[in-house]
Amino acid sequence: DTAVSQTPKYLVTQMGNDKSIKCEQNLGHDTMYWYKQDSKKFLKIMFSYNNKELIINETVPNRFSPKSPDKAHLNLHINSLELGDSAVYFCASSRTMDGSSYNEQFFGPGTRLTVL
Amino acid sequence: AQSVTQPDIHITVSEGASLELRCNYSYGATPYLFWYVQSPGQGLQLLLKYFSGDTLVQGIKGFEAEFKRSQSSFNLRKPSVHWSDAAEYFCAVGALNNNDMRFGAGTRLTVKP
């Protein structure tokens, strides 16, 4: 009955490789997010998707691409991995903000990516 | 855009002592405020949130926070800390006009026996 799940939990890979992290939510939410937490624990939003539409894209390298096959899934693809990509990546989901109410985000357990 | 400052990077308290973690936000309209806790190697768990109404909000695990608009603050408190409260605590602010939730840098809490 996990609300937001991510796979894998740990990912160790070599520089230059391409990898994907999967995220699934069973909360019926229609907005999903990816956050990056660096080694100093700083959390920064990378993307959010609402009904398959990208609505936030911070200054993230285009090596990172979110892919949403349906509104319950938002996968993160990373091409040509670099050392600086090592971090913990969190997926989150929420109901869509409708202009009159704010909806809290629910977070997955995180994926620790280590690039060697 | 909204922003959050957590002035204390690391706080150490004795078990049984009271705790206050500071959070200041910057946003021109009504903020939506959150405190999350992250235990070592774990994800983020929501402790409490403020959307509107009573400015003193109660959360899980005996935590509470008070929204003070005049001070742009949303400090987290607990009257008696337990060893299991040792974790990283994040304050976050959301805005109604976007989905972008901004996090503070976090405060690491160490609990001494």
B83, exposed or middle or buried, with CB in 10 Å at 0-12, 13-18, 19+? Answer: exposed
Name the residue of chain A whose CA is nearest to B42's CA. A109
**Upstream peptide bond of A109 is cis (omega within 30 degrees of 0):** no
What average pLDDT does chain B have? 92
Mean pLDDT of B5-22: 97
A43: which chain B residues are within 8 Å (Cβ-Cβ)? 90, 103, 106
Lowest mean pLDDT among A9-23, A50-64, A92-106, B92-106: A92-106
Number of CB atoms found within 10 A of residue A72's CB: 16
Q: What is the pLDDT of residues A51-70, one digit of tens each?
A: 767 877 778 898 999 998 88
Q: Which residues contact B77 (CB under 8 A, 6 or more apart)?
A: B18, B19, B20, B21, B63, B64, B65, B66
Query: Has residue B95 got a pLDDT over 90?
Result: no
Range of A18-27, A103-112, B42-51 with top mean pLDDT:
A18-27
**What would the mean pLDDT of B55-79 be, rounded to a whole number?**
96
HSE of B53, CA atoms in CB hemisphere, 13 A: 5
Residue A49 and residue A68 in contact, taking contact as beta carbons nearer than 8 Å = yes
pLDDT value at residue B65 = 98
A chain contacts of residue B47, beta-carbon cutoff 8 Å: none
